[in-house]
Amino acid sequence: MKNKLIAEFLGTLWLTFGGCGSAVLAAKFISNEGATPINLGIGLVGVSLAFGLTVLTMAYAIGHVSGCHLNPAVSVGLCVGGRFNGSELLGYIVAQVLGGLAGAGLLYVIASGRSDFSLAGGFASNGYGEHSPGTYSLMAAFTSETLLTFFFLLIILGATDRRAPQGFAPIAIGLGLTLIHLIGIPVTNLSVNPARSTGPAVFVGGWALEQLWLFWVAPIIGAVLAGLVYPRISGEPGRAS
């Protein structure tokens, strides 16, 4: 169990640091070397791909150790779907949240090395209303986080089904996370992961902490729904492991 929790801590650290780091450090990068400033940043597509790559790489690195959940909502969904032992759930969630905080902390150390750094930019925190990248409403944010988490868990449950092609699950899951980021970043900066949301929110404080509830409640609801639906449509209930 200790090794599983360490793996979840490190994996969630990597997801938060890599995904949020791509948004904070690389999404927009202006080069002033020429006569005209040029944006060399990776943009929304690059950030979406970065989040997907963090999960894909960690799935191959620690999937055989802990299952590579990296997300309290994923752990809850797998538990509801019969794929995860409920007695380990609390430990996993604690390890994941601590990993998210550590990843955000390391990112802060690096990002604050710029003289013009400010947390006022949001530090990749998730939000709705005036704090949504596209100023989407609370209802739009809640709906998107629930819906996208539901389909993310459906992908995870299907790709890791014993009847699915073996060895390809990390690719499907990583690409699935990339896809939902492409959809959801304009709405909420996309969470679908309470641990990833908690890390940056703690550093930003204020509005980010006030709105954090949504990025726990909506993903967990979506995950629970997927955990209930998948065993019924797959024809074979999952088994705790």
Q: Note the pTM of the prediction, 2 decimals.
A: 0.93
> Options 3.10.310.10, 1.20.1080.10, 3.30.1360.40, 1.10.357.10; which CATH number does 2-234 get?
1.20.1080.10
Q: How does DSSP assign 206-240, residue by residue?
A: THHHHTTTHHHHHHHHHHHHHHHHHHHHHSS----
Render each residue's pLDDT in the chain as its tens digit; 241 residues.
999 999 999 999 999 999 999 999 999 888 777 778 888 899 999 999 999 999 999 999 999 999 999 999 999 999 999 999 999 999 999 999 999 999 999 999 999 999 999 999 999 999 999 999 999 999 999 999 999 999 999 999 999 999 999 889 999 999 999 999 999 999 999 999 999 999 999 999 999 999 999 999 999 999 999 999 999 999 865 444 3
User: Is 91 exposed, middle or buried (CB count within 10 Å of its CB: 0-12, 13-18, 19+)?
Assistant: middle
Domain segments of the chain as ranges: 2-234
